[in-house]
Structure 1
């Protein structure tokens, strides 16, 4: 019979997304206008905003870059909802997910930031690629 050491004692594998997760307070509803999202991004000097649906569940995130094509026509930006844009959508990370797995998924999907949600889809925070990489590098081998 083969036994395996507890996950926490295996080299760096005990780290989870919860260990790397950071709070993020800036959110916008998916029915808000592109113009409103741009105002928030500019005034708070942010690169991205988390998007939630009308029930408060995480729907994804929108970046300044993804909004740029819509901002060339002011009338379009004022009348178009975030839900009509192409923005990062799920699946999302969850707190119990292994940090190594999350880092791999982020690298494959080319994500700099990834929302972390609970079992019901409500936002808990975000994980950044830089933070995940830093924690994994500092983990004992």
Structure 2
């Protein structure tokens, strides 16, 4: 039998909180905000995903759209097949940073009723997606 000497752990040593960059999924399919809702739904179906990251002409993330969101829009009386994703998104966001702790991100997602949240770098480019466990 071999004895293993354990080093005592200091009482004030706490592990670093888990951050968004360690928990995010690789970037979901990314599309441009000038894409129509119909084409976006087709991209989701072929990629077998329920959300898409949306970017502008400069490649900056402008938001995330979900299949449920687009399907609900398509089922309204005012919908036409010319509606672009930029019209669905409105203002940019919400987003989270790679440095955001998981506790903060989860709280923000639950507070806003979001199933998924884009993770962006300092320049605003999408790096991945945080998704709540179902």
Contact 1:61 1:87 in 2 (8 A): no
Compute the RMSD of aligned alpha carbons. 2.3
What corresponds to 1:98 in structure 2? Answer: 101
- Which has more radius of gyration? 2
| Alpha-carbon distance change, 68 to 52 in structure 1, aligned in 2, over 3 angstroms | same
What corresponds to 2:65 in structure 1? Answer: 62
What corresponds to 1:37 in structure 2? Answer: 40
Q: Secondary structure of 1:41's match?
A: helix
What corresponds to 1:139 in structure 2? Answer: none
Give me the whole-angstrom Cα distance separating, in 1, the residues matched to 2:83 and 2:97. Answer: 30
TM-score (norm 2): 0.78
Give me the whole-angstrom Cα distance separating, in 2, the residues matched to 1:15 and 1:24. Answer: 19
Which segments of structure 1 move beyond 2 Å, counting only runs of 4 or more? 69-73, 86-89
Q: Secondary structure of 1:85's match?
A: helix
- Mapped pair 1:76 → 2:106: no
Task: Structure 1 unaligned segments of length 5 or more: list them.
Answer: 132-141
Contact 1:93 1:117 in 2 (8 A): yes
CA apart distance, 1:87: 7.0
Give me the whole-angstrom Cα distance separating, in 1, the residues matched to 2:129 and 2:102. Answer: 13
CA apart distance, 1:45: 2.0
Q: Secondary structure of 1:32's match?
A: coil
Structure with greater helix share of residues: 1
